Chain A
């Protein structure tokens, strides 16, 4: 009888939380502090950067969770045009994350490969003070992200997860937590859950693509940028 009850509870949990769609508000922060820029720099910022940042902040983050795999993407506001907003386009194009309990990967559509997050290996520090987010009791977890390709980009990641939804498929590069992540802040992107709903049909197929580490991918990109700078000088 106990076995049947346990099995029924497990089945209930799986059916209840196996397939979810979570929507998040987006707050993208490009620079941390205002510095005294030149007139030219301020002009470039107003024309080139601010429209992209505004567009990103009017977007919605969507996390689909199916069978302990999750897929995250940023969906632009339909009324906003992405034309002439290369920063917004770059950030949205590189916002598709596939996450499992043990691994996180960013889909690189330009080079048709998956960039594996190799910088998030530190252990989580979980705190016991609860907070309600989107109606769920959440707990804070932090870890230090260590970027081997560029240590000056090292930073702390803060997430809030709810054990009330016991899925462990993570969110973007935050994985291996005992619950659904409803808040994410890596000091550049901040996502706050607005709604959690169960969905009937959900299928995440991990594409059969080449894999490359985040470190190697950034070294490759740095080399390309260096070549372009040198070519411009000649």
Chain B
């Protein structure tokens, strides 16, 4: 009984360690979302007469390239509104 309990505790301990390690790996990755936002902010600060569709295109380019380079899951925010 003691052995089963010990093995159980050990198993749970190992699992939590593995989960923590996963979180740490994710936190250690490049934050592509922040990188894309920073690229847009920088362009906004220096731009004159630039429309939102161009900022949108810059964001997508930086985010997708960064995600692809870092093998991250793509999770963009997509909003579609009707023309009216």
Contact = CB atoms under 8 A, between A and B. Distances in A.
A154 B48 CA distance: 11
A89 B49 contact: no
Interface string B8-34: 000000000000000000000000011
B43 A48 contact: yes
Interface stretch (A9-17, A27-35, A198-206): A27-35
| Tier of interface size on chain B | 20 to 34
A134 interface: no
B57 A110 contact: yes
Interface in B35-65: 36-37, 39-40, 42-43, 45-62, 65
Interface in A43-78: 44-45, 48-49
B5 interface: no
A45 B42 contact: yes
A132 interface: no
B71 interface: no
A99 B36 CA distance: 32
Nearest to A153: B49
Interface stretch (A163-171, A176-184, A211-219): A211-219
Given A45-B46, A223-B79, A153 B33 contact: no
8 contacts: A41-B45, A44-B46, A94-B57, A110-B57, A224-B59, A224-B77, A225-B56, A227-B79
- Nearest first, the 10 closest Cβ-Cβ pairs linking A and B are A90-B57, A221-B52, A221-B56, A44-B42, A86-B61, A216-B83, A222-B52, A32-B48, A227-B77, A188-B49
Interface of B: 33-34, 36-37, 39-40, 42-43, 45-62, 65, 77-83
Given A41-B46, A228-B33, 9 more contacts: A30-B47, A41-B45, A45-B46, A86-B39, A115-B53, A216-B83, A228-B59, A228-B77, A231-B77
Interface of A: 29-33, 37, 41, 44-45, 48-49, 86-87, 89-91, 93-94, 108, 110, 115, 147, 149-150, 153, 155, 186-188, 212-214, 216-225, 227-229, 231-232
